[in-house]
């Protein structure tokens, strides 16, 4: 045992010296201690100690930062990495350089600093923003009827469009000095949430000018002249913008767009030899394109005559082109899943525009992809996540009410266990979605552009929004599938795939972007290693690679040790913040963060560059990172809300569901890593006791459903920010009224059931029972009125729309004929 301790001690000292740059006095103490130990040891121990110190003398210079390590170890490794690492394309590099690393970096560290998370201020609207949300946004909602918009008008009403322009909805992100609102990202998100609960058409029409498009690009990259001219016009609605990126041949591979421009000189507005670009393009799926007056255009620019410089291929460039420019063709409309928002193709062939039309002018020629990626790093986390949360708030509030109002077998359908399962998912998913939306928008308002986090919330919030809508439709049954003015879910349900598809298709986002970018951007060493291999200065490359590689080795070993220890102890001894309800979750997230960092490094080491092509493995690692982030937002929300006791079922359900999903993502990785020995080693070190995180229990789900079906602060907090119309005949308002009426009638119904069991009243039909109970004094007239009101509103809720057999086409034809005959008679 003494021999083993001696050998282990020497190796530990060597390792400490190698990674912590021990000072000379500590070297002296260590050597002196070794000599003293040597003097008081037996012969066998002395031999072992001497051998150990010889090993130490050899290893220390190799492991300690310095010229010996760089020459003997780092230099050959650098050469190897340069040979085996796949070359990074310019568009990949620009995508990786875009945005910032935020909380995702903490999760990749293996030891997230929860105090740092708590120190972020609680995102909140200011007084001006709240007034706009309660005023003009609410007023716009009252103007909108999505059934009329999508079934008859196929556009927003003219008065709604004018209101949107007059009230500055199109300039929410434009600073006040240009006539815009200068709203925060949180406010932008809140407006989209509220509008979505009333009209998806209005939400999309407002979100696009405030998302990735001309206004944002001009703010960051426009010339002074471009900003001064266009931003005030955009803010006032004098210009209607769109941005054209997608081509028939280039969808997800937007960097491969075939649209091109050629630098040349030509006549322009009577002036000869104007420097400009001759453009040819074909775009489709362009939202607001059919009504746009200002076309943002992405294209690849070529300079065959070297007018701008020596390079012929100048790269992706962004232009801003008035749609009345000769040669610009605005096509007809697309019809995306019965959506009435404007969307359509545009094209042009050999269209000459002056160089002034390039966003940012000649200085930003060829920088279009970087410009897009930087804007997308923030914008992707606002609009579509807000849209998903909005439809989920609508679904949660109406499904909760419907689940209690609608009865079958003399019981609210929300109390059937099968229905409870779906409704619990609705409540839990929405609680998580809104937490992620708010925290991420808050990060943007702090100045962050979290590219990986943006991809996480875009993917997961739209996917969970799809799950919420599917569950809501299942609960509503026939009420949900019959279209008409009284169907508040149908159009949102139809149009979910649109959000799934745009701004990075979800399949691509999950399998290639989240971990593909996260592993490089969020990891503390990988990007440094890659940059070192691409450094042209050999001395700097070697120094940078040496520091990054051996730091990476220490990082990996540290996380392996932490993950194994916390796996064995189930993280019970891990010091984290939190109270009796939340501390266990902070501990388990810390555990899984270390496990994720360890598993990521092992996967990258085993698979190398092929991990990029093993998309399903990359997707599972991305799922783990995403779930760690989403769970963090839930704990932050609970903290910011002041630990409300009544919200505990939501918080517990989400955290248990998230830990269970993360566990299954780990197991999916273990089961599919090609090296089975490595996979076994990972599983044993991370989950030595097997699966330990159970899905939320049925009883917990029942509590979540109870909150959805009961008016109160929890239900209001969950659906805060949605539009509840003032019109008492609006179907959403009717559900609210019916829920209150049904709850008020429940004690009366209980009294009647007790009287029926006692034999005081008899009968099978509810109306007859109520009349008999009133006659015999079992209930009062006031209580009978409550029953009648509940019955009336319940029926109003469950009824669906119907139409003429030909959907009124014959009446429309007759009206059209009459108008035509009148016109002929006038002629």
Residues marked active site are found at 503
3-state SS track over 810-825: HHHHHHHHHHHHHHHH
Q: List alpha helices for 208-265, DSSP H.
A: 214-221, 224-235
Task: Please answer whether residues 278 and 261 qualify as being in contact, where contact means their C-beta atoms are separated by less than 8 angstroms.
Answer: yes
Distance in angstroms (rounded) separating the CA atoms of residues 506 and 495: 15
Distance in angstroms (rounded) separating the CA atoms of residues 655 and 371: 37
Neighbours of 109 (CB within 10 A): 18
Please give the structure tokens belonging to residue 60. Answer: 């220390």
| Residue 274 parent element (H or E) | strand 271-287
Tell which phi-psi region holds residue 320, choosing left (phi > 0), alpha (psi between -120 and 50) or beta.
beta
Distance in angstroms (rounded) separating the CA atoms of residues 282 and 287: 15
Tell the residue number behind the tokens 């995403």, with chain if given: 626
Tell the residue number behind the tokens 């003015």, with chain if given: 485
Determine the 3-state secondary structure of 163 from DSSP: helix
Distance in angstroms (rounded) separating the CA atoms of residues 201 and 141: 11
Cα dihedral 665, 669, 670, 675, rounded to 10, equals: 180
Distance in angstroms (rounded) separating the CA atoms of residues 619 and 726: 45
Distance in angstroms (rounded) separating the CA atoms of residues 121 and 105: 19
First to last CA, the chain: 114
Given CA atoms 496, 497, 498, 503 in this order, what sign does their dihedral have? positive
Q: Specify burial of residue 228 (Cβ count, 10 A radius: 0-12, 13-18, 19+).
A: exposed
Q: Specify burial of residue 508 (Cβ count, 10 A radius: 0-12, 13-18, 19+).
A: middle
∠ Cα 784 787 793 (to 5°): 140
Contacts 24+ apart (CB under 8 A), 664-673: 665/620, 665/621, 665/623, 665/624, 665/627, 666/592, 666/595, 666/599, 666/620, 666/624, 667/691, 668/620, 669/599, 669/603, 669/617, 669/620, 669/621, 669/624, 672/616, 672/617, 672/620, 673/603, 673/606, 673/617
Tell the residue number behind the tokens 């001690």, with chain if given: 9
∠ Cα 420 425 427 (to 5°): 95
Distance in angstroms (rounded) separating the CA atoms of residues 45 and 51: 10
Determine the 3-state secondary structure of 417 from DSSP: helix
∠ Cα 341 344 347 (to 5°): 155
Neighbours of 540 (CB within 10 A): 11
Neighbours of 743 (CB within 10 A): 16
Cα dihedral 547, 549, 553, 556, rounded to 10, equals: 110
Task: Please answer whether residues 290 and 359 qualify as being in contact, where contact means their C-beta atoms are separated by less than 8 angstroms.
Answer: no
Distance in angstroms (rounded) separating the CA atoms of residues 91 and 615: 19
């Amino acid at each position: 045992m003494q021999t083993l301790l001696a050998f282990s001690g020497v190796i530990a000292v060597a390792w400490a010296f190698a990674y912590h740059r021990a000072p000379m006095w500590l070297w002296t103490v260590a050597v002196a201690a070794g000599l003293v130990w040597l003097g008081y040891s037996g012969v066998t121990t002395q031999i072992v100690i001497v051998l150990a110190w010889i090993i130490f003398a050899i290893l220390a210079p190799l492991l300690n930062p310095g010229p010996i390590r760089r020459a003997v170890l780092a230099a050959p490794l650098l050469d190897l990495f340069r040979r085996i690492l796949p070359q990074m394309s310019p568009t990949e590099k620009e995508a990786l350089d875009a945005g910032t690393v935020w909380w995702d970096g903490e999760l990749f560290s293996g030891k997230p600093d929860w105090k740092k998370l708590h120190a972020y201020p609680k995102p909140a609207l200011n007084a001006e923003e709240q007034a706009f949300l309660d005023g003009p946004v609410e007023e716009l909602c009252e103007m909108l009827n999505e059934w009329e918009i999508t079934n008859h008008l196929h556009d927003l009403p003219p008065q709604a469009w004018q209101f949107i322009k007059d009230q500055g909805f199109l300039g929410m992100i434009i600073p006040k000095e240009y006539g815009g609102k200068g709203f925060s990202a949180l406010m932008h998100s809140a407006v989209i949430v509220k509008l979505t609960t009333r009209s998806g058409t209005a939400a999309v029409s407002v979100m696009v000018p405030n998302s990735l498009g001309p206004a944002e690009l001009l703010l960051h990259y426009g010339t002074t002249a471009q900003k001064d001219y266009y931003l005030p016009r955009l803010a006032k609605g004098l210009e209607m913008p769109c941005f054209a990126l997608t081509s028939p041949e280039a969808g997800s591979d937007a960097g491969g767009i075939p649209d091109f421009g050629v630098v040349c000189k030509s006549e322009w507005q009577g002036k000869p030899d104007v420097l400009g670009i001759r453009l040819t393009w074909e775009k489709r799926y362009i939202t607001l394109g059919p009504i746009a007056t200002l076309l943002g255009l992405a294209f690849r620019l070529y300079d065959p005559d070297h007018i701008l410089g020596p390079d012929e291929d100048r790269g992706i460039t962004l232009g801003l082109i008035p749609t009345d420019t000769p040669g610009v063709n605005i096509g007809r409309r697309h019809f995306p899943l019965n959506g009435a928002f404007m969307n359509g193709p545009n094209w042009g062939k050999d269209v000459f525009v002056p160089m002034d039309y390039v966003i940012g002018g000649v200085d930003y020629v060829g920088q279009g992809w970087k410009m897009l990626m930087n804007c997308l790093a923030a914008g992707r986390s606002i609009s579509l996540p807000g849209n998903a949360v909005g439809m989920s708030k609508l679904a949660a509030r109406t499904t909760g009410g419907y689940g209690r109002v609608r009865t079958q077998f003399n019981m609210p359908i929300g109390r059937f266990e099968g229905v409870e399962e779906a409704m619990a998912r609705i409540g839990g998913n929405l609680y998580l979605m809104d937490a992620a939306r708010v925290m991420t928008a808050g990060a943007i308002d702090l100045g962050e552009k979290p590219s990986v986090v943006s991809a996480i919330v875009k993917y997961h919030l739209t996917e969970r929004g799809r799950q919420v809508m599917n569950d809501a439709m299942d609960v509503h049954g026939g009420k949900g599938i019959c279209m008409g003015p009284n169907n508040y879910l149908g159009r949102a349900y139809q149009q979910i795939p649109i959000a799934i598809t745009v701004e990075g298709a979800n399949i691509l986002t999950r399998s290639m972007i989240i971990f593909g970018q996260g592993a490089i951007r969020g990891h503390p060493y990988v990007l440094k290693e890659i940059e070192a291999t691409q450094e042209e200065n050999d001395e700097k490359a070697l120094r940078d690679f040496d520091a990054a590689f051996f730091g990476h080795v220490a990082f990996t070993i540290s996380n392996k040790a932490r993950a194994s220890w916390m796996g064995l102890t189930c993280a019970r001894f891990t010091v984290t913040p939190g109270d009796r309800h939340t501390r266990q979750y902070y501990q388990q997230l810390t555990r899984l963060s270390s496990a994720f960092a360890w598993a990521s490094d092992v996967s990258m080491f085993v698979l190398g560059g092929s991990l990029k092509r093993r998309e399903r493995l990359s997707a599972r690692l991305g799922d783990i990172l995403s779930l760690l982030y989403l769970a963090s937002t839930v704990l932050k929300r609970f903290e910011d809300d002041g630990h409300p006791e009544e919200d505990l079922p939501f918080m517990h359900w989400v955290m248990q569901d998230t830990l269970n999903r993360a566990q299954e993502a780990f197991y999916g990785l273990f089961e599919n890593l090609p090296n089975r020995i490595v996979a076994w080693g990972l599983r044993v070190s991370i989950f030595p006791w097997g699966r330990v995180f159970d899905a939320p229990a049925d009883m917990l789900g029942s509590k979540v459903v109870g909150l959805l079906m009961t008016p109160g602060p929890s239900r209001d907090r969950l659906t805060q920010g949605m539009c509840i119309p003032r019109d008492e005949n609006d179907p959403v308002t009717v559900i609210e009224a019916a829920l209150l009426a049904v709850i008020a009638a429940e004690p009366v119904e209980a009294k009647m059931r007790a009287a029926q069991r006692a034999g005081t009243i008899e009968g099978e039909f509810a109306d007859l029972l109520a009349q008999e109970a009133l006659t015999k004094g079992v209930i009062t007239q006031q209580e009978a009125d409550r029953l009648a009101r509940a019955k009336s509103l319940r029926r109003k809720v469950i009824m669906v729309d119907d139409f003429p057999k030909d959907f009124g086409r014959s009446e429309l034809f007759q009206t059209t004929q009459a108008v035509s005959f009148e016109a002929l008679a006038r002629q």
